[in-house]
Each structure stands twice: as structure tokens, then as C-alpha cells.
Structure 1
Amino acid sequence: MTDAALRMSIAGVGHWHAPRHVEAFVAAGATVVAVQDDAAATAERWAVRLACAAEPTLDDLLERHDVDLVLAMPRHRGAPSVVGRLVEHGTPFVVEKPAAASAADLWPLVHAAEAAGRFAAVPLINRYSSFWEQVQRLRGEGLLDPTTVARFRIVNGSPDRYVEDDVGWVLDPDVSGGGALRNLGPHPVDAFLSLAAGEVSVLGAALSHRQHALPVEEHAVALLRDEAGLIGLVEVGYSGPDRDGTDHEWALTGAGSSVRELHDVVEVSTGSGTVTIASPSVMQRYQIFAADVVDRLRTGRPAPVTLREACRALDVIDRIYAAAATTTGTAVPALTPAAPGPNEGEIP
């Protein structure tokens, strides 16, 4: 594409992440030319807000508007059909995580997208934290060797906000495929996978419905380990006291140092003392992601976070649900296996 304004359309604009993505992509130089949502009134409301067209279906959106990028924010169980249509159509796209309700549903589409050479990105925006720059620096200085323990936590506010924001389907396991683990889990699990060597094992897990008594879990904790012995603690929840607040911690401990991000501050401790470094806020991470996507499209580079990487996180999340069911007897969302991809049996 040229340096002219990037033209984009949005499928599933009623998603609760829409305001963040729209603001971020517009700031990165994109122009929204059309929106779609299964709720016609929602699509019309956004069309008025953005002074663009509203379309009733994904096919109408794709067939009537020639764009450089499609932003898709589908409901979890319906996401594979949306991703499949986008892969078939060929326009570069960004799809909100988790992009499916199970790895089995997404894995064939990973192969299809890769075989067709599609630009398919997933906004795992916490990759744009300063935490990772400090991890890389400390590793280069030999101060995280060996790395011992990693902790990744996202505990957000009450799930009532989803009902208030007219996306109550997030709390329906038949649509969402799970609760906090399915919805928020891709971020901390992807963080652990970014550090892991070899296969990741799920040592144990537990889900809780205690606070809100919802049909989906409101809190989940899992213990992971990679082949090199790195232990990871992953925690996600809807149990925070602030509706719009979050309890976010990324932390890593090694032989000669530790690095910990709490919200938007990174603290690095070594034998020489402790220093703090500012990290981008959540909204700034969306903006950095959008700018990265736009720049990659303009320069012909691949997606920053791919469907394959999202599917690897989904595979671990599926195994966390299975471990939780085994250890606690907790009911977990049913996983619907999809047809195998070209490399049947391959672990994503």
C-alpha cells in the first residue's frame, strides 16, 4: 500500500474494545469507511459517529468496500467462521483475541492463512510493554540466567460491566466459550510462552465462581512449567473492586535480578540497586499496536502477532480448563473439535 491514508472497515463494531481500537487506528492514520455488526442499531450508531457506511453482514462489508485492513471483533464461538471468511477474501485483517473458543477450531485457519500468505494479526497489546525491553537487556547482561519464576496477572473489575456495555454474551459460555480465562487468559499465557523453552506443561489449575455465581468462571489460576524448568503462575479474573480498574502485574525472577511491571511502571532490581522505568499505559499499547500494524502494511512486513501465536495460547488455555476440571471437578466449557489442518497432530 502507499503512504495515503489507510482505509479500514470494522466487523463486529459492537465489541467493548471498539472505542480503543478506533481511537488507536485513527491516530495511526487510518480512515474507517464502513462498519458492520449483527445488531443493526449498533452499526448505525457507529456509522453516524464515524461518518461512514453501515453494513448488515460481513459479506456485505467485504464485497461493497475496498479497504486496506479489516478489523474484526467477533463473538468467540463464531470467530472461526469470520476468520475463515477473511482468510478466503484476502484483505489484511486484525482479529480480536481469543479468535476462537478453542485451539481446535482455530488451528486449521492458522494453516490456511499461512499457506495463502495472509496478513492476520491479533492484538496481544501487552507485548508492547517496557517489561520486555528490560527482560531482553537483563538477559543480554546474563542477569536472568537461569530464570526461575514468572508471574503474570490481570484481574479486572466486575463482570457487570459487560451487561452494562450491551455485550452480555461474554458471560454466556455457549457464546464465549468460557469466562475470565478464555477472555483475558491469552495475554498472560502469551507472556509465559514468550519466555518458554520447548513444550509447556500445565501442572495444576483452579477456577472460581464464588463471588458472582456466574455460569462462566470469574477467576482462574494456573501453574505452568516449560521444558527448561521455568515455573509460571498465571492469574486472571473479573473480581476486582473497581468496575473499570485492573490489577496488572508482569514479574520475572532470575539468578541475578528481577523485573516487575505493576500497571505502567517497571521496577528492575539487581545487585547494584533498584531502578524504575515508565511503561506505556494500556491505551498507549493499543496505539503502539495500531501504528505498528499500519507501518507493517505500508512496508510489506508480516503481522506483529500472528494467528499461530494466538492459537498456541489457546492450546494452553484449553489444557488449563482440562486441568481445572481434573483437579477440582469444575465444569468447563465444551470444546468442539474442528477438522484437522494439513499437519494433523501438530501442536500449535
Structure 2
Amino acid sequence: MLVGAAHWHAPLYMDALRTRFDLVEVAEERGSAGADSGIDVAFVMTAHERMAAQAAHFIERGIPVVLEKPGALNLADLRSLRDLAHRHGVPVAVPLVHRAAPFMSVLRSIARPTYLTVTYLVGPPQRYVDAECAWMLDPDSGGGVLVNLGAHFADVATELFGAPIASVRAVGHHALHHLDIEDHAVMILTTEDGRSATVELGYVFPSAAAKRHVSMTLAGEDGFVSIGAGGDVSLTRADGTIERARIDVDSDLLFRDFVAEVAESFDAGFAALPQIDDLVAAMEVVDLAYRDMHGDRDRGRAWAS
């Protein structure tokens, strides 16, 4: 079952869902696709303001959930949803798909990673209008590039460092598209022992059809690695030797692979996949970033408002 099929990520899942599951029933709202009996797993991908309630509907009935990020309209609602899942013992998998990206294998080859930089720039905000998800351009219902992409790279930094993020600094900008949401943002994430990630995100690539610009660097105890926009990898070891390779930096296929992992780990409670606790940890970082951008005020309404 797929709830909220108008979500702009839905097309990235559909072919794999039809291949991996005997029946995929699509419903825009919970309950509108018929009774919940017989549903093996619910994929919840809808507007942020409806995500938590729809996921809770299935959790309360003991139905495992796959929940798109950010999972809720604000951090308080997301934490409540996590607590509900724990009380009911229902697994909730989250497509933090960049954990399985080819670039992660490259970055993990550096011992004790210390300084990470990520630039991840995607197409213009018009793509959400074209996908009939114009709510994404409203800070009270969707949010800017930080709420859309920030969780992925907060999670990447946490995974690489093997430690939680202790402090967050962030700035956001509106100058390119002149919208209420930020179209460009930079976060600096730091662990307690001083390791840091600088993450640049933006709706600044000129064409959604051309997808995105991705580049990364990582310095650590035994070397330095850079990944260019075309996927060219250069890894310089401490002894001066250089290793070169090329990888695929297109993230779209990661969603297909994620669906395969859902199918294969279903009986084990999605044990091989990121869980709702991981999403909460990532969105706590995003929430701190918005607090730094807008002032440390109550963020009970929405992530970006």
C-alpha cells in the first residue's frame, strides 16, 4: 500500500514496488483504499502535515510502515510518532538512502574521518509545482531545501563519524528564487571531539531534468578523498599514493534498491534499514539548523516556519 502517491518521490518507488510486492494499492488518504486487513506494509509518502497521522494510523493497527522524511510537520510530532512505534513494537523503516550510495563506500575507506564537505545542489523549486506538490514551497506545510535534503546529510555525517552531532550552525538564503522558503542553505555540523561536516544544499541547479550537482571531500588520519560532480574519485593516501575510480552519483536508483531491501528484510523488522530513531536523530540536527538560522524560538508549528 502506498499512501500519498502524489509525493514527488513516489515515481522513484513505483516500478520496484510492483516488482517486489504482490499487490500495491495506492491511496491518497488513509482508509480511502479500503480496509487495513491484508496490508503487509504501508509506504507513507504524503504532505508533511499529514505524514505523522497517517503513519500512526497503521502503527496502531500493527502494520509495519515505510516513512518518507521528514516524517512529520515538526520535531515534537516526529518524536511522538517514534514513541508510538516503540510502544506498539511496530517497525518503521526510513529511506535515508544515501547510506547505501556508492559514495559512502568511498568515504568509508578513510580511517577516522575528520573533515567532510558535501555540496548537493538540485533542480529549481518549480519541480514541486510540476509534480503537484506546491505545498513544498510553503514554510508552514513543506519547507525549504534544508528540511527536504538536510536529513540525508546529517545522517551521512553521523554515520561516517560514528558519533552524534553536538553543535549546528546554519545559514539560509532566498536570493535566487525569491520564495518564502530558503533555496540555499549551509550547515556546519560538529561532533564533541571537533570533527566537522560542512554541508551545502540548494535548489540552484537550472534544470530538474539534468538532476543535480554532487561533490564531496573527506580528510582523515590516513588520507584525503574527493568525489567530483561526474563521479570521478581521487583518493590520496598518507604515503602519497593516489587511487582513482569512477562511481555513479545519481541517487534515483537508490530508492529502487531500498524497496528491494524492504522486501528482503520485512520478516526481520527491517533490521538492515535505517529506522525511525535514525530519522529523529537526523531531524534533530535539521531542527537545530533552523533554530540557528531563524533564532532559537519555539518551532512547534513547522520545521521551516
Shared topology, TM-score over 0.5? Answer: yes
Q: Determine helix, strand or coil for the equivalent of 1:315.
A: helix
**Counterpart of 2:236?**
269
Deviation at 1:300, TM superposition (A): 5.3
- Aligned-partner residue type, residue 120 of structure 2: I
- The SS at the match of 1:162 is helix
CA distance in 2, matches of 1:233, 1:241: 23
Kindly state the Cα deviation for residue 167 of structure 1 after the two structures are TM-superposed: 0.9
Amino acid across the alignment from 1:269: T
* CA-to-aligned-CA distance 1:182-238 (integer Å, 9 cap, x gap): 111111111112123544233521110111111111111111110121111011111
2:3 aligned partner: 11
Query: Quick one: structure 1 residues 263 and 87, their matched pair in 2 at CA, closer, same or farther if it must change by over 3 Å?
Result: farther
Within the candidate set 217, 224, 227, 2:189 is matched to: 224
Describe the SS at the equivalent of 2:292: helix
- Deviation per CA, 1:38-59: give whole Å up to 9, x if none: xxxxxxxxxxxxxxxxxxx402
1:208 equivalent in structure 2: 173
Work out the CA distance in 2 between the residues paired with 1:170 and 1:303: 30
Structure 2: 5+ residue stretches without partners:
none
Rounded to whole Å, the distance in 2 between the matches of 1:105 and 1:264 is: 39
Alpha-carbon distance between aligned partners in 1 of 2:299 and 2:31, rounded to the nearest angstrom: 29
Residue equivalent to 1:154: 120
Counterpart of 2:301, as a letter, is T
What's the secondary structure of 1:61's corresponding residue? coil
- Paired with 2:144 and 2:301, the residues of 1 have a C-alpha distance of 17
| 1:284 to 1:198, Cα distance in 2 relative to 1, 3 A | closer
Look up the match of 2:224: 258
Could you tell me which runs of 5 or more consecutive residues in structure 1 were left unpaired when the two chains were aligned. 1-8, 38-56, 139-143, 338-348
Cα 1:135–1:184 change in 2 (3 A) is closer
Residues 70-119 of structure 1 deviation map (CA, whole Å, 9 limit, x = unaligned):
11102112211112112112111211111113222111221221232212
- 1: distance between equivalents of 2:72 and 2:138? 15
Supply the AA of the counterpart residue of 1:152: V
Structure-2 separation of matches of 1:216 and 1:94: 27
Alpha-carbon distance in structure 2 between the residues aligned to 1:75 and 1:333:
22
The separation in 1 between residues aligned to 2:180 and 2:98, in whole angstroms, is 28
Structure of larger gyration radius: 1
> Aligned pair in 2 of structure 1 residues 277, 62: CA closer, same or farther (>3 Å)?
farther
Secondary structure at the counterpart of residue 175 of structure 1: coil
Aligned match of 1:58 = 30
Give 3-state SS (helix, strand or coil) of 2:273's partner.
coil
Matched, 1:25 2:17: yes
1:323 paired residue among 270, 292, 295: 292
Specify the alignment match of 2:76 in structure 1: 104
Is the Cα–Cα contact under 8 Å of residues 173 and 333 in structure 1 kept in the other structure?
no
SS of the equivalent of 2:188 reads strand
1:173 and 1:98 map into 2 onto residues whose CA distance is 13
**Could you tell me which of 99, 109, 120 is aligned with 1:127?**
99
Q: Secondary structure at the match of 1:185?
A: helix
3-state SS of 2:285 partner: helix
CA distance in structure 1 between the partners assigned to 2:43 and 2:90 by the alignment:
14
3-state SS in 1 of match to 2:70: coil
Q: Is the 8 A contact 2:168 2:288 kept in 1?
A: no
SS at match of 1:173: coil
In structure 2, distance between residues paired with 1:64 and 1:190: 32
| Alignment coverage as a number of residue pairs | 298
Give the whole-Å Cα distance in 1 for the aligned partners of 2:194 and 2:58.
Answer: 39
Q: Name 1:288's counterpart in structure 2.
A: 257
